[in-house]
Amino acid sequence: MIRFLLNNNEITLEEINPNISLLEYLREELYLTGTKEGCASGDCGACTVVTSKLGVNKSSLQYEAVNACIVPLGSLHGRQIITVEHLQRGESLHNCQQAMVDNHGSQCGFCTPGFVMSLFSYLKNNEKPEREKILEALSGNLCRCTGYKSIINAAFSMYQDYISDQFDASRSATIKKLERIKNEDTPSFLSAKNQQYLMPRDIRELCKLLHEHPEARLVAGGTDLSLEITQGLKKFETLIDILNVPQMNSVYENNGHIIIGAAVNLTDAKATLVNLQPNLTELIERFGSLQIRNRGTLGGNIANASPVADMPPVLIALNANITLMKMDSERTIPLEEFYTGYKKTQLMPQEFIKDIQIPMSTRHLSLRAYKVSKRIDDDISSLCAAISIVREDGLIKEARIAYGGMAEVPKRAEICEKSMLGKTWSEVTIEDAMARIPQDFSPISDFRATAGYRLSVARNLLKRYFLEENGLDNEKFRVTHYAF
Ligand SMILES: Cc1cc2nc3c(=O)[nH]c(=O)nc-3n(C[C@H](O)[C@H](O)[C@H](O)COP(=O)(O)OP(=O)(O)OC[C@H]3O[C@@H](n4cnc5c(N)ncnc54)[C@H](O)[C@@H]3O)c2cc1C
Ligand code: FES
Ligand code: FES
């Protein structure tokens, strides 16, 4: 049985297709058709709804805009779901709806409920409108007809005359209800037609369930896995959701390392990663969209083993380890040894990633990460680079240069790195190292980029690192959002 709040109404479900998405449930079971379906793959934002969960200090609610088309319904246990239908206040529109009307933010209207929900989430999470943050909040919503200027104007104007809304009024009641669900001592699951969705509440239970169901697939945020259902038309017999496993949801320091639980999503991991390395801000903000980062986890990004995933090169450059766990054993390995081939990893049957460990000493590194993609927002990388070069007395002492999109796995440029060691920090050294990139990689051509383009960009990113480290005004290079 799972239990969640639909607006303020408590819903209990047990027998329902465990492979169903939140969007299918809303539209096809509840006929809440205000939420639209566009791409069914997390790309367009038409299906955006807002979920809220208990905040870290438990007396607050954390609002998250999510793509309902790729959120497994089972993962909503213990959360509140707010859709566009719930915003209206009696006969009046909510501020974020009225602002869209006042600013002519809608033409055909198909994208509008999704935009409204992204605006609503922004309003609940931010005391004032700030342009850069608004652009980030809207980066996962596509509009083909209106143009974004009027929608951005709506984001500013929804703050006018806004004091509080019905969600503020019912906040403490909502918190109490969510706390009660959280404290219930009943197992959370969905099942129907020989399929099941299981939600263990701690790591021992997770190990046990994996042992009992060796065929099961793990699901964290579901932003990769759900595409196997919506695009690949797969049906999973057993899904085991890890979002409620506390040991995989925390961030803490231990033994000179920052430990990030594998089920921590990118939004929640951002502060820790940026605190460690401020240069990671842009890369993280360009990881999918806010809706994707609100769901997608660090562990999922690693385990999915995509050669173009953005976080593995960064974590490899930071010399991160991962802890792998199964029933009665635990082992910690360097992330760079995790990948064994295209979409292949060291994970053994029933084993899972428990956490990611980043040495705190990497705080002192000059790490820079670059994402090259066809679109600035919400796009998968053509290639991605994370570069860290340590210098001492003008000589290169250590180099860790990792690329995604250059091989069948995220991988270090070892020949290139070695060529620099002990040499002077100079353009000659860097250009010599750049020339060795083709010895490290033989990338493929695909619909994202040709092999030649990948090699050439990989070389040039190394030069860019050199120039930026030497204080060249990087305004010239920095990727900025287009001005609307
Ligand atoms: C529209 C869109 C945009 C995207 N943009 C980007 C992007 O810019 N950069 C990028 O790198 N990725 C991107 N992705 C891919 C995806 O969002 C990320 O890979 C994300 O981090 C996956 O995490 P998740 O929690 O959603 O994983 P899930 O989908 O839940 O799981 C992915 C896989 O990992 C397994 N798994 C999950 N957690 C564990 C664990 N702890 N141990 C073992 N196995 C596990 C699952 O069984 C599954 O096979 C995008 C996806 C979409 C749909
Ligand atoms: S329908 Fe396009 S993101 Fe969900
Ligand atoms: S108003 Fe038509 S797609 Fe946005």
Residues 191 and 316 in one domain: no
CA-nearest residue for atom 47, ligand 1, is 218
Helix H or strand E encompassing 116: helix 112-125
| pLDDT number for residue 78 | 94
Q: With a 6 A CB cut-off, is 38 part of the ligand 2 pocket?
A: yes
Q: What is the pLDDT of residues 304-352, one digit of tens each?
A: 999 999 999 999 999 999 999 999 899 999 999 999 999 999 999 999 9
Residues 304 and 252 in one domain: yes
Q: How is residue 457 written in tokens?
A: 């960009």
Q: With a 6 A CB cut-off, is 216 part of the ligand 1 pocket?
A: no
Coil, helix or strand for 28?
helix
Q: Grade residue 188 by pLDDT with cuts at 50, 70 and 90.
A: confident
Residues 174 and 144 in one domain: no
Q: What is the pLDDT of residues 209-221, one digit of tens each?
A: 999 999 999 999 9
Q: What is the pLDDT of residues 65-117, one digit of tens each?
A: 999 999 999 999 999 999 999 999 889 999 999 999 999 999 999 999 999 99
Please name which of 316, 345, 351, 311 lies closest in space to residue 331, comparing C-alpha atoms: 351
Cβ contacts of 278 within 8 Å, gap of 6 or more: none
* CB 189, CB 72: distance < 8 Å: no
Residues 271 and 141 in one domain: no
* CB 372, CB 450: distance < 8 Å: no
In a domain, 53, yes or no: yes
Q: Grade residue 475 by pLDDT with cuts at 50, 70 and 90.
A: low
Residue 142 CA to ligand 3 centre (angstroms): 8
What is the CATH classification number for the domain harbouring 290?
A: 3.30.465.10
Where do runs of H (alpha helix) occur along 298-370?
Answer: 298-303, 311-317
Distance from first CA to last CA of the chain, Å, rounded?
Answer: 47
Residue 483 CA to ligand 2 centre (angstroms): 25
Q: With a 6 A CB cut-off, is 221 part of the ligand 1 pocket?
A: yes
| pLDDT number for residue 55 | 86
**What count of other Cβ atoms lies within 10 Å of the Cβ of residue 393?**
7
In a domain, 482, yes or no: no
Range of the domain at 110: 95-164
Residues 345 and 383 in one domain: no
pLDDT over 50 (residue 481)? no
Residues 303 and 290 in one domain: yes
In a domain, 483, yes or no: no
Q: With a 6 A CB cut-off, is 313 part of the ligand 2 pocket?
A: no
In a domain, 194, yes or no: yes
Cβ contacts of 287 within 8 Å, gap of 6 or more: 266, 293, 296, 310, 311
Q: How is residue 324 written in tokens?
A: 């792998």
> Mean pLDDT of all residues in the chain?
94
Residues 73 and 193 in one domain: yes
Q: Output the pTM of the full model.
A: 0.96
Label residues 132-146 b or e (16+ Cβ within 10 Å = b).
ebbbbbbbbbbbeeb
Residue 470 CA to ligand 3 centre (angstroms): 45
Residue 113 CA to ligand 3 centre (angstroms): 10
Q: What is the pLDDT of residues 349-380, one digit of tens each?
A: 999 999 999 999 999 999 999 999 998 888 88
- The label of the residue with tokens 């239970």 reads 205
Residue 111 CA to ligand 3 centre (angstroms): 5
**Strand 352-359 to strand 367-372: parallel, antiparallel, or no bridges (unpaired)?**
unpaired
Cβ contacts of 246 within 8 Å, gap of 6 or more: 201, 202
Amino acid at 270: K
Helix H or strand E encompassing 135: helix 131-138
Ligand 3, from 111, 117, 141: best to mutate by most atoms within 8 Å of Cβ?
A: 111
Report the alpha-carbon distance of residue 474 to residue 78 in Å, rounded: 45
Mean pLDDT of 230-251: 95
Report the alpha-carbon distance of residue 225 to residue 330 in Å, rounded: 25
Q: With a 6 A CB cut-off, is 236 part of the ligand 1 pocket?
A: no
Q: With a 6 A CB cut-off, is 300 part of the ligand 1 pocket?
A: yes
CA-nearest residue for atom 2, ligand 3, is 108
Amino acid at 413: A
Roughly what angle, to the nearest 10 degrees, separates helices 95-102 and 148-157? 130
Domain boundary among 364, 383, 418: 364
Domain boundary among 338, 364, 390: 364
Mean pLDDT of 409-416: 98
Report the alpha-carbon distance of residue 156 to residue 48 in Å, rounded: 20
Report the alpha-carbon distance of residue 96 to residue 117 in Å, rounded: 8
In a domain, 454, yes or no: yes
Please name which of 372, 428, 430, 444 lies closest in space to residue 401, comparing C-alpha atoms: 430
pLDDT over 90 (residue 480)? no
| pLDDT number for residue 484 | 42
pLDDT over 50 (residue 299)? yes
Closest ligand to residue 143's CA: 3
Residues 449 and 385 in one domain: yes
Give the 3-state DSSP-derived string for 398-438, with helices as H, strands as E and coil as C: EEEEEEECCCCCCEECHHHHHHHCCCECCHHHHHHHHHCHH
Closest ligand to residue 49's CA: 2
**What count of other Cβ atoms lies within 10 Å of the Cβ of residue 455?**
20
| pLDDT number for residue 210 | 97
Q: With a 6 A CB cut-off, is 24 part of the ligand 2 pocket?
A: no
* CB 413, CB 425: distance < 8 Å: no
Q: Grade residue 163 by pLDDT with cuts at 50, 70 and 90.
A: confident
* CB 224, CB 299: distance < 8 Å: no
* CB 65, CB 291: distance < 8 Å: yes
Domain boundary among 222, 241, 260: 241
| pLDDT number for residue 483 | 42
Ligand 1, from 41, 75, 218, 322: best to mutate by most atoms within 8 Å of Cβ?
A: 218
Q: With a 6 A CB cut-off, is 313 part of the ligand 1 pocket?
A: no
Q: What is the largest CA-CA distance in the chain?
A: 72
Q: With a 6 A CB cut-off, is 40 part of the ligand 2 pocket?
A: yes
In a domain, 382, yes or no: yes
Q: With a 6 A CB cut-off, is 22 part of the ligand 2 pocket?
A: no
Residues whose beta carbon lies within 6 Å of some atom of ligand 3: 106-112, 143-146
Higher pLDDT, 472 or 26: 26
Q: Grade residue 473 by pLDDT with cuts at 50, 70 and 90.
A: low
Number of domains in the chain: 4
